[in-house]
Chains A and B, each alone.
Chain A
Amino acid sequence: DGGITQSPKYLFRKEGQNVTLSCEQNLNHDAMYWYRQDPGQGLRLIYYSQIVNDFQKGDIAEGYSVSREKKESFPLTVTSAQKNPTAFYLCASSKGRELNNEQFFGPGTRLTVL
């Protein structure tokens, strides 16, 4: 059955290490998104991709990088340049700009940097 998977659910890393969060969807959606959620902050857009091999910075892209080599996959790398990486990370996808932009979310990955 179709959906978005994010793994792992919990991730621990030492300060200064890069870490990559995975996001896979089998909904045949063109667009994919990465958000982070912090307490009292709502969801803030990190990066988004509307088509394979193309992606755009969101509102808080500094310290993050992404790739979109396949339609199904949109991995997010949290680099050592991200000043406050501990957060709950959410991946989402949608059919694309031509249709109503309902985004479907994955279950999230909680990253803790020690």
Chain B
Amino acid sequence: DQQVKQNSPSLSVQEGRISILNCDYTNSMFDYFLWYKKYPAEGPTFLISISSIKDKNEDGRFTVFLNKSAKHLSLHIVPSQPGDSAVYFCAARGSNYKLTFGKGTLLTVNP
């Protein structure tokens, strides 16, 4: 039973355009959401997060939007840069403060 879903395994965008990565969840008890970025053969690095009491959080080129009624969040990267090419994981915090991760979306930003 997959509680956090990233339905797009991959996404390709042009440099300078907007990248939108999506994440859906099923557990209404999740109270905190995070996005991680991962390069091959490395550990994930934290990117941005949002509490369930907010609907938007912005940090430089990265913005996360949360729609609680739809149980959906998205990560916007604008403008996209080639260095943003990586796998992006969505994660949600639930009981016992454990994180549940999605399967990831591979973003490729083409020069």
Interface residues of A (CB under 8 A from B): 4, 6, 9, 31, 35, 40-45, 48, 50, 56, 58, 88, 90, 92, 97, 100-108, 110
Contact = CB atoms under 8 A, between A and B. Distances in A.
Looking at chain A's contact residues, the main secondary structure is strand
Given A97-B97, A102-B34, A90 B102 contact: no
A102 B91 CA distance: 10
A100 B49 contact: yes
A101 B32 contact: yes
Nearest to A94: B97
A108 B43 contact: yes
Given A42-B89, A43-B101, A105 B49 contact: no
Contacts of B104: 42
Contacts, number: 58
B37 to A, nearest CB: 11
A56 B96 contact: yes
A105 B103 contact: no
B93 interface: yes
5 contacts: A9-B41, A40-B103, A42-B89, A43-B91, A107-B42
Nearest to A110: B41
B101 A101 contact: no
Contacts of A42: 6, 89, 101-104
Nearest to A10: B41
Contact of B89 (A40, A43, A101, A110): A43
A41 B103 contact: yes
B101 A102 contact: no
B48 to A, nearest CB: 10
A45 B49 CA distance: 20
A44 B103 CA distance: 9
Interface in B3-17: 6, 9
A38 to B, nearest CB: 10
A9 to B, nearest CB: 8
Nearest to A98: B97
A35 B99 CA distance: 11
Interface string B70-111: 000000000000000000010101001111111110000000
